[in-house]
Chains A and B, each alone.
Chain A
Amino acid sequence: MKVIAAILLLVLCAHSAAREAPATAADPALERRVVKLTSELRCLVCQNQSLADSHADLAIDLKNQVRSQMQSGRSDTEIRDYMVARYGDFVLYDPPFKASTLLLWAGPFALLLLGFVGLAVYLRSRRRRLPDAELPPADSARAEALLRGGSASEPQ
């Protein structure tokens, strides 16, 4: 009985210690902007996560950086430029279209085009390989009989 009471007490204590997480910012609208922008930025420490997702030390610093810059009235574009100036286009999940990213953006379309060209070449060559074959006279007579609705004699 004592044991049960102790466990109950412990559980109750644990419950009272678990409080709601404090709001991350006094201003929810600002926080939404922070989350929106940082989810477009890559965390360089854990490269498959966005800054918003990551709990790496640097990601937290950078999120604070974004928040304080927003508080001082800088626009999203300005903050994005700030990040690119330091970490390069690599921080952007949506890289800009320029000479160094030409292959990235145009590559898939070039491959698609190449695929169409290949398909066209293949179809053309196949048509050449399969000339309109003439049916043997016996077969065409049978086909005609079938089309007329008569029962064709089955040459077994």
Chain B
Amino acid sequence: MKRFLPLGIFLVLAVFLAAGLGLNPREVPSPLIDKAAPAFRLPQLQEPGKSLGTDDLKGRVWILNVWASWCVACLEEHPILVEFSKQNVLPMYGLNYKDRREDALKWLGEHGNPYTLSVEDSDGRVGIDYGVYGVPETYVIDRNGIIRYKRIGPVTVPILKEKILPLVRQLQG
């Protein structure tokens, strides 16, 4: 019995270490889940004369996707978003984070535009309100303007199919 004590301690340590290695330290639980989406009113990317605000979107389930032309990881999720937007499940708004208009428009021209609309957050103030720290980030916001889901980093097909879509269906239902 006594002989196996070191082995037991080793196994416990190994399990803890393995669990620790499996965690992603970049995925910080957002305090914004189940809280009201911070209000904003920003100029539209395509038509800077017009604006879009959170109050225009009350009563609808929508996605806010934070993107930028300088963001490499955005390219990873972009084809998935473009494909998803063709299904017309729900409106998806882009928050163009700390970008330049001409770069952003060029980027959308090259890679396709999945967004109903994009707004410009050129100084990143709205990004700070949403707790953005790793572009891309994706939020699902319900009819009452409450954030129900947040994804930090690129959206993948499994995440879209297993997390986002069921949630959206439930919220729309």
Contact = CB atoms under 8 A, between A and B. Distances in A.
A86 B128 CA distance: 7
A44 B129 CA distance: 14
A14 B94 CA distance: 45
A90 B28 contact: yes
A140 interface: no
Nearest to A100: B29
A86 B130 contact: yes
B148 interface: no
A62 interface: yes
B134 A47 contact: no
A84 B128 contact: no
Contacts of A65: 128
Interface in B72-105: 98
B131 interface: yes
A23 interface: no
Contact of A61 (B32, B124, B130): B124
B31 interface: yes
A62 B128 contact: yes
Contacts of B31: 84-89
A86 B31 CA distance: 6
B133 A88 contact: no
A57 B129 contact: no
Given A44-B133, A88-B29, A57 B98 contact: yes
B30 interface: yes
B98, B123, B128, B134 interface centre (most CB from chain A within 10 Å): B128
A58 B133 contact: yes
B25 to A, nearest CB: 6
Contacts of B25: 47
Interface string B109-148: 0000000000000011000111111100000000000000
A47 to B, nearest CB: 6
Nearest to A43: B133
Nearest to A84: B31
A104 interface: no
A89 B25 CA distance: 14
B134 A87 contact: no
Contacts of B26: 47
Interface string A79-119: 00000111111100000000000000000000000000000
Given A57-B98, A58-B124, A61-B124, A88 B134 contact: no
Given A86-B131, A87-B133, 8 more contacts: A44-B134, A57-B98, A58-B124, A61-B124, A61-B128, A85-B31, A88-B131, A90-B28
18 contacts: A44-B133, A45-B133, A45-B134, A47-B26, A58-B124, A61-B123, A62-B128, A65-B128, A86-B31, A86-B32, A86-B128, A87-B31, A87-B131, A88-B30, A88-B131, A89-B31, A90-B28, A90-B29
